Amino acid sequence: MVKRSDAGGEAIADANAFRAAVRDVKPLKRAAQPAPAPPPKPAKRLRRAATPAEPQDPLPPIDASVTAEERLAYRRAGVREQELRRLRRGLIPVEAELDLHGLDQAAARHWVTDFIEASRADRRRCVRIIHGKGLRSGGRGAVLKSALNDWLKRHHDVMAFASAKGIDGGTGALYVLLRA
């Protein structure tokens, strides 16, 4: 057992030995710290630019009778019932997807129009549009869902659409079959 007085002496001896060992050590020069990288820029979203020749048509009135849990289905004349059934069941491969969460009705309309045009240009046959169920829209109900129901029926490149399977968004998303 070490006596208390000896313990203090050992500590002093250790400190002196350490100082003697590091006496010739010179501090390293600090390397210049590189400037921190700038924060990443948010991804730019392409927006459909309105040209003076293209008047901004007002949004048509929307049939707001569509509820959040209602399943939608539509087929244009000439589309077989079998094709709509395959679409409803998710048997046609989805080749692209558009998520409209957080957009207002006007912005969503432009995104949908651009998305359908781009999908047709890329020769896509089936796409998915996620509109959400409108649960945070309060008393207004499923605004984007109701609007999409009308817009897609009027769009000449849309042959059919149906609510997605549960795993793909259920009544908060649509499978859309485009003109071949």
Task: Give the residue extent of every domain in the chain.
Answer: 73-178
d(CA 171, CA 16): 77
The whole model's pTM is what? 0.64
Q: Which CATH number fits the domain 73-178, given the four candidates 3.40.50.2000, 3.10.28.10, 3.30.1370.110, 3.50.50.60?
A: 3.30.1370.110
pLDDT at 35: 66
Residues 117-129 pLDDT 10s: 999 999 999 999 9
pLDDT at 158: 96
| Angle of the 143-154 helix axis to the 105-121 helix axis, nearest 10 | 40
Q: Model confidence at 1, in pLDDT bands (50, 70, 90)?
A: very low
Kindly tell me the burial class for residue 177, based on how many C-beta atoms sit within 10 Å of its own C-beta (0-12, 13-18, 19 or more).
Answer: buried
Residues 58-109 pLDDT 10s: 555 555 567 778 899 999 999 999 999 999 999 999 999 999 988 888 999 9
Q: What percent of the chain has pLDDT over 90?
A: 48
* CB neighbourhood size of 43 (10 A): 5
Q: Quote helix, strand, coil % in the chain, to nearest 5.
A: 35, 15, 50
Residues 6+ apart with CB under 8 A from 94: 126, 127, 128, 168, 175
Beta strands 173-178; 158-163: pairing state: antiparallel
Amino acid occupying residue 4: R
Residues 20-50 pLDDT 10s: 988 888 877 776 666 666 665 554 344 444 3
pLDDT at 68: 74
